[in-house]
Amino acid sequence: MNILDRYHAMEYGPAPEARNEADAWLAARDFGRALFIGGDWKAASGGKTFETSEPSSGKLLANVSDANAVDIDAAVAAASKALPKWSAASGYQRAKVLYAIGRAMQRHQRLFAVLETIDNGKPIRESRDIDVPLAIRHFIHHAGWAQALDKDFPGHRGVGVVGQIIPWNFPLLMLAWKIAPALAAGCTVVLKPAEFTPLTSILFAEICERAGVPKGVVNIVQGGPEAGVAIVNHPGVQKIAFTGSSEVGKIIRKATAGSGKKLSLELGGKSAFIVFEDADLDSAVEGLVDGIWFNQGQVCCAGSRLLVQEGIADALIAKVKTRMSRLRVGSPLDKNTDIGPLVDLTQLDRVKGLVAEGARQGAVCWQPDAALPSSGYYHLPTLATGVSPANILAQEEVFGPVLATMTFRNTEEAIELANNTRYGLAASVWSENVNLALHVAPQLKAGVVWVNGTNMFDAACGFGGYRESGFGREGGREGMFEYLTAKLPLGPVIKPATTSAQPVEQADGSAIDRTAKLFIGGKQVRPDGNYSLAIATAKGKLAGEVGLGSRKDIRDAVSAARGAKAWPEATAYNRSQVLYYLAENLSGRAGEFAARLTELTGATPKAAREEVEQSLERLFLYAGLADKFEGRVHQPPARAVTLALHEPVGVVGIVAPDSSPLLGLISLVAPALAMGNTVVAVPSERYPLLATDLYQVIEYSDIPSGAINIVTGRSAELAGVLAKHDDVDGLWVFADAETCAKAEAESIGNLKRVWSGNGRSLDWASDEAAGDAFLRRAVEVKNVWVPYGD
């Protein structure tokens, strides 16, 4: 046999990773005392444990303490006790602790990698080369943020005690994503890992002991749903950070409604992997391997929907099948393995069920001819072709090694198919034409877009989604804001509106009767129900009547806002000019608006004039910032730049307060408009005539039809309609506490971003009630990764 024959005959031999150190660690550990609370190891107060097993064999690894509500109380108490000293520590002191954690993890990174693979089932190459190094990177990166906090985030402080709940697909990496920014911000932590994968979090707690983390700053509690519920509902927790399914995310959003807790959710996804006809197909195939078969497809941002241009579809599918046939399925501790087992039998059964249902709905499911190991929870890589956009494999997150394929004819159809999902976490765009790629990326409803790459992550770059993929960002500057708070200037407690009970003295009939309509789609229209609401002056006389808006009117307004493409597509400079012009036209009627304020609110003429002047100043502020509140360029340690683009949230519903009725309305509407959002505003229920007087000003200020819509009526009722409307992307509510809580609870249909005053108004005249704090709520941050070099 010559050398060439030997080359062709070569086969992969076994290349097992040694697990003796991990087994010794498992044997030496008392997992019955696995709760790390206040710097001590404790058993669960109820004495319960749960099993964690090895996915590759099903064999039992350990019986681990199962925390209950009593244990969560103890953990929150420990975190609360440690909070004052930790938050008061200097940035340098916190940076030293974060750096020490990272360095200690480096010294034990092989043990972390092997434990992660044993417990989760992911191939050792992934845990060794991706998960553990990235986790270490997060702690060392955030050591820098700890020291730069005062300079880069002036006026901000840590939010307090943070409850964190992480999933089983990236146990150590998700822990690092959560804990590192929290500690950098001066927060203390109560973290609950997933029941399937507790081991590396226990090792991490041991690292915290060695690295000198003060007692109570990091508390790690193992447990199931009872522990998770206790964390979410605990009154001593000021923020919840959750990564997991969209279904559980909605439950948490509803549970925290009205509590005032800060909330970030990183949820499911159904990411599009778009291949244009000019793409390098071989590179795209390798990207696809990383996109959908990385970690067995158990990745929230997995590129599980392949969208390929028709002209190259056959060629690409043939290459994909060839590559799939060479993927090695086997022991995750073998360094030659590409695909390991799924995490648990329940996950395996779920994936099988979804594949079967997809086939029943018309998909053709292909798998390579390969044998599976005799034990463990393995599933062959699967390619589904002939998939319709409504097929379950195109719509539901499978969370397994299953790729659904569809074709498109042109760029517009590719974008439409990519956005045909309730999720919005990530996407990949493959093209040799960077102009095409950067044309498509901003049009994709996804928080992260990779150009000619996939599954690229770094601590310097934000990660997070749109729509039902959640809200908030993890990593980078954007991620730090999730653990910080800036005190807004609180105003009075808002009482429930009582306009229906107010006696109104009728007018003397000397003036021509005028009933203000609604303002929808650039026109003044009658309310659908043809009811009106009497508005009284400060002296109890009839000032006028306004339309009583209803559910149908809100639907019409949202439809008009969604159709107003000219405003979000306008340049920031153009929006700036329009807002300046709006201020100019309002200035010409300043006396009229001041008189109306005095008539309705009883304010002195001087105070009324000041409110009008402050409203003009606020408009000028946001007109000036429209083209200045910009994104950033991140530089991860890779041959790529990450463009953190500021994009409008979309359609934003605004429920304005009675206090400072003109200034409050403009302070909310102006930043939303400045960032390119379209608005459906519900003005002050008690003083809506100030908003209806704006109609004419808006009409001759060059604001495109539908960019701003105003529906007068009952604030509580209309806030509820906006909250439930799935075509509203964001909702800002300044109303009584019950209305705010209901708006948050009822927003779960599409997990829209809700900002509420929790029953308090703001001091709208203060400088703090304007600027970046408002603009951040008016944008989504999209991170677009652009590689460079050969």
pLDDT at 784 over 90: yes
> What positions carry a catalytic annotation?
266, 300
Query: Is residue 503 very low, low, confident or very high in pLDDT (cuts 50, 70, 90)?
Result: low
Look up the pTM and report it: 0.94
In degrees rounded to 5, what are phi and psi of residue 85? -70, -40
Query: Is residue 491 very low, low, confident or very high in pLDDT (cuts 50, 70, 90)?
Result: confident
Q: Tell me: the pLDDT tens digits for 269-305?
A: 999 999 999 999 999 999 999 999 999 999 999 999 9
CA distances from 246 to 39, 355, 422, 692 (A): 33, 20, 10, 40
- Give the Cα separation of 644 and 697 in Å (integer): 35
Helix (H) or strand (E) holding 20: helix 20-28
Adjacent-strand bridge partners of 645: 782
Average pLDDT over residues 33-56: 96
- Give the Cα separation of 64 and 445 in Å (integer): 41
What's the pLDDT score for residue 507?
55
Among 703, 682, 768, smallest CA distance to 568 is for 703
Which residue pairs from 90-96 have beta carbons closer than 8 angstroms and sit at least 24 positions apart in sequence? 91/146, 91/147, 91/148, 91/149, 91/150, 92/146, 92/147, 94/143, 94/146, 94/147, 94/183, 94/184, 94/186, 95/143, 95/144, 95/146, 95/147, 95/184, 96/143
Query: Is residue 504 very low, low, confident or very high in pLDDT (cuts 50, 70, 90)?
Result: low
For residue 431, give the 3-state DSSP assignment.
coil
The alpha helices in 548-589, defined as continuous H runs, are 551-563, 566-569, 572-587
pLDDT at 60 over 80: yes
DSSP string, 292-318: HSGGGG--TT---EEEEEGGGHHHHHH
Torsion, CA 99, CA 103, CA 106, CA 112, rounded to 10: -70
Which two structure tokens, joined as six digits, stand for 247? 């279904």
For residue 780, the number of C-alpha atoms closer than 13 Å in the C-beta half-sphere is 32
Q: Tell me: the pLDDT tens digits for 355-401?
A: 999 999 999 999 999 899 999 999 999 999 999 999 999 999 999 99
Average pLDDT over residues 70-91: 98
Which two structure tokens, joined as six digits, stand for 384? 């589904």
Average pLDDT over residues 29-36: 96
Helix axes 132-152, 91-107, angle to 10 degrees: 170
- Check if the beta carbon of residue 587 is closer than 8 Å to that of residue 613: no
Q: Tell me: the pLDDT tens digits for 301-344?
A: 999 999 999 999 999 999 999 999 999 999 999 999 999 999 99
**371: Cβ contacts below 8 Å, ≥ 6 apart:** none
Give the DSSP letter of residue 542.
E
Give the DSSP letter of residue 212.
T
**790: Cβ contacts below 8 Å, ≥ 6 apart:** none
Which two structure tokens, joined as six digits, stand for 605? 């003429």
For residue 396, the number of C-alpha atoms closer than 13 Å in the C-beta half-sphere is 13
CA distances from 473 to 96, 266, 460, 479 (A): 25, 8, 12, 5
Mean residue pLDDT across the chain: 94
Among 586, 679, 579, smallest CA distance to 629 is for 579
pLDDT at 584 over 60: yes
- Give the Cα separation of 141 and 149 in Å (integer): 13
Helix axes 91-107, 109-120, angle to 10 degrees: 70
Please give the sequence-ordered ranges of beta strands (E in DSSP) within 90-181, or none if there are none: 156-158, 161-165
Provide, rounded to the nearest whole percent, the portion of the chain with pLDDT above 70.
97
pLDDT at 226 over 80: yes
Helix (H) or strand (E) holding 51: strand 49-53
Among 276, 169, 161, smallest CA distance to 217 is for 161
What's the pLDDT score for residue 638?
87
Which two structure tokens, joined as six digits, stand for 20? 């003796």
pLDDT at 156 over 90: yes
Provide, rounded to the nearest whole percent, the portion of the chain with pLDDT above 90.
91
Query: Token match 């417990």: residue?
Result: 119
pLDDT at 498 over 70: no
Give the DSSP letter of residue 131.
I
Average pLDDT over residues 9-17: 78
**53: Cβ contacts below 8 Å, ≥ 6 apart:** 59, 60, 61, 344
Among 181, 176, 184, 168, smallest CA distance to 132 is for 176
The amino acid present at 278, given as its one-letter code, is: D
pLDDT at 501 over 50: no
For residue 160, give the 3-state DSSP assignment.
coil
Helix axes 661-674, 605-625, angle to 10 degrees: 10
Query: Token match 């807004």: residue?
Result: 488
Q: What angle do CA 523, 529, 531 make, to 5 degrees?
A: 90
Q: Tell me: the pLDDT tens digits for 506-519?
A: 555 555 456 789 99
In degrees rounded to 5, what are phi and psi of residue 780? -105, 145
Give the chain's count of helices (H) and strands (E). 29, 34
Query: Is residue 502 very low, low, confident or very high in pLDDT (cuts 50, 70, 90)?
Result: low
Pairing of strands 542-547, 40-42: unpaired
What's the pLDDT score for residue 513?
55
Query: Is residue 559 very low, low, confident or very high in pLDDT (cuts 50, 70, 90)?
Result: very high
pLDDT at 199 over 90: yes
Pairing of strands 35-37, 40-42: antiparallel
Adjacent-strand bridge partners of 403: 383
What's the pLDDT score for residue 510?
52
Helix (H) or strand (E) holding 491: strand 490-493
What's the pLDDT score for residue 599?
95
